[in-house]
């Protein structure tokens, strides 16, 4: 174990058993990993086996929230980068990385360690040229901010492994899977997904628009490199509220596990409601309604959402914020914890068209047992059926009288 620490916290003396097995030596990579501990793994496989409806506030999907439109996205760079990646892979790798555009595999992701054999290719198994092609796909698809945040998160995963001196085959910069959905196209539906520890980026592209959800990013240390804007704007908003408004926004004044109900004190999801395996979760609105805010407070709420959506290129990001503004009257802001620079906290913005969450967690690999600001999990979702671009894909099929191949949902 490394003789090192971060802000006074050291690697946990007890090892968390993580096992890896290659089931079929004939395949370059068959991967099963099980993170054992006192908390259940997210119900990813069970959730993915159910028909997709999306996150809702009451169990009923609000219709007609999303539309096929030109948001100004230029898909050509991402299409070219995806084509270069496919050309760099071997035939066997291409067969594993390429899936139908409506495949259930979109929903098979986790921000921890999968207990199943993922589709796709594992970046640690690729050579430098192939990994560079993956990197260029990320760069071509995301904004400069989004690309930097994803690559920083991946590097911090490797730095965490170096810090604690353990898990040299799983806490690495390249311990992630990539898979492509559909055929890269300037006008047809396709996308890609990258996932692994503290990262899941789901990128659906349809012509000149994009859906970049679910996206999960996190870090157990040095998180200020990525998430400071979320925290700064969230804190600015909660401090801008009147005492009466804050009484509605603050669900619980403490982040300590003993002060929270059990369902908000778990070591895996913490306060998160929209994490892995939660595609169809019913999440009632809670906190302060945006229609009870002043115009200045509403502007802060939009800025807070923008700190998440800015990982998309400018056109889709602006279109998403316009969508949020159209439904601002139904948005809610909720907070858990103290409101100061040094304390851990949780907050979320929830409306019919966005669910954005920020949460501080206890240490997993470092030895702090209560949430701390240094360990951050974030997630953004598109409620009411448009995660993974599902509703846009449905509309595309309807417009072009092209029903999906139902068999592809079983892949």
Secondary structure of residue 3 in the 3-state scheme: coil
Token look-up 């690697």 returns 11
Report the pLDDT value the prediction gives residue 59, as an integer from 0 to 100.
97
Q: Name, in order, each residue with C-beta under 8 angstroms of 219's C-beta and a sequence gap of 6 or more.
A: 153, 156, 157, 160, 198, 225, 226, 227, 375, 376
Rounded-to-integer distance, Cα 368 and Cα 360, Å? 12
Show the tokens assigned to 271.
């306060």
pLDDT along the chain (411 residues), means of 10: 74 65 42 46 90 97 98 98 98 96 97 89 96 98 98 97 88 96 97 97 98 98 96 98 98 96 90 96 98 98 98 98 98 98 97 98 93 97 98 96 52 37
Report the pLDDT value the prediction gives residue 15, as an integer from 0 to 100.
59
CA 166 to chain centre: 25
User: Per-residue DSSP letters for 157-192?
Assistant: HHHHHHHHT--TTTSSTT-EEEEEES---SSSEEEE
Beta bridge partners of 104: none
* Burial degree of 371 (CB within 10 A; 0-12, 13-18, 19+): buried
Report the pLDDT value the prediction gives residue 30, as an integer from 0 to 100.
40
Secondary structure of residue 396 in the 3-state scheme: helix
Report the pLDDT value the prediction gives residue 43, as an integer from 0 to 100.
87
CA 253 to chain centre: 26
Q: Name, in order, each residue with C-beta under 8 angstroms of 404's C-beta and a sequence gap of 6 or more.
A: 100, 101, 102, 393, 397
241 and 324 in contact (C-beta within 8 Å)?
Answer: no
380 and 356 in contact (C-beta within 8 Å)?
Answer: yes
Token look-up 């555009």 returns 101
Report the pLDDT value the prediction gives residue 42, as an integer from 0 to 100.
82
């Amino acid at each position: 174990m490394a003789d090192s620490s971060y802000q006074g916290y050291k690697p946990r003396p007890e090892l968390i058993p993580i096992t890896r097995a290659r089931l079929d030596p004939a395949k370059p990579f068959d991967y099963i990993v099980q993170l054992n501990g006192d908390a259940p793994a997210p119900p990813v496989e069970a959730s993915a086996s159910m028909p997709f409806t999306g996150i809702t506030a009451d169990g009923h999907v609000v219709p007609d929230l999303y539309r096929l439109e030109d948001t100004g996205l230029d898909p050509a760079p991402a299409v070219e980068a995806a084509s270069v990646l496919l050309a760099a892979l071997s035939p066997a790798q291409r067969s594993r990385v390429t899936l139908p555009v409506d495949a259930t595999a979109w929903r098979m992701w986790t921000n921890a360690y999968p207990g199943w054999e993922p589709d796709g290719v594992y970046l640690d198994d690729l050579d430098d040229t192939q990994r560079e092609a993956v990197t260029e796909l990320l760069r071509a698809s995301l904004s400069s901010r989004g690309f930097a945040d994803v690559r920083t998160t991946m590097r911090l995963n490797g730095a965490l492994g170096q810090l604690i001196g353990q898990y040299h085959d799983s806490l690495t910069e390249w311990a992630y899977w990539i898979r492509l959905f559909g055929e890269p196209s300037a006008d047809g539906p396709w996308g890609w997904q990258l996932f692994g520890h503290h990262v899941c980026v789901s990128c659906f592209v349809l012509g000149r628009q994009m859906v970049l959800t679910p996206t999960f990013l996190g870090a157990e240390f040095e998180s200020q490199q990525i998430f400071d804007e979320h925290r700064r704007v969230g804190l600015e908003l909660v401090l801008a509220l009147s005492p009466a408004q804050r009484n509605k926004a603050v669900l619980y004044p403490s982040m300590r596990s003993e002060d929270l109900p059990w369902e908000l004190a778990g070591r895996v999801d913490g306060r998160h409601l929209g994490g892995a395996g939660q595609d169809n979760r019913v999440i009632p609105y809670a906190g302060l309604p945006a229609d009870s805010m002043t115009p200045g407070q509403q502007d802060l709420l939009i800025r807070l959402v923008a700190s998440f959506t800015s990982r998309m290129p400018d056109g889709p990001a602006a279109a998403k914020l316009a969508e949020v503004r159209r439904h601002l009257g139904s948005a809610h802001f909720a907070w858990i914890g103290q409101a100061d620079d040094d304390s851990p906290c949780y907050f979320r913005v929830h409306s019919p068209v966005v669910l954005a969450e920020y949460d501080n967690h206890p240490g997993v690999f470092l030895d702090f047992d209560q949430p701390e600001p240094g360990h951050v999990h974030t997630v953004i979702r598109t409620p009411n059926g448009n995660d993974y671009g599902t509703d846009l894909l449905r509309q595309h099929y309807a417009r072009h009288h092209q029903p999906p191949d139902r068999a592809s949902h079983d892949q």
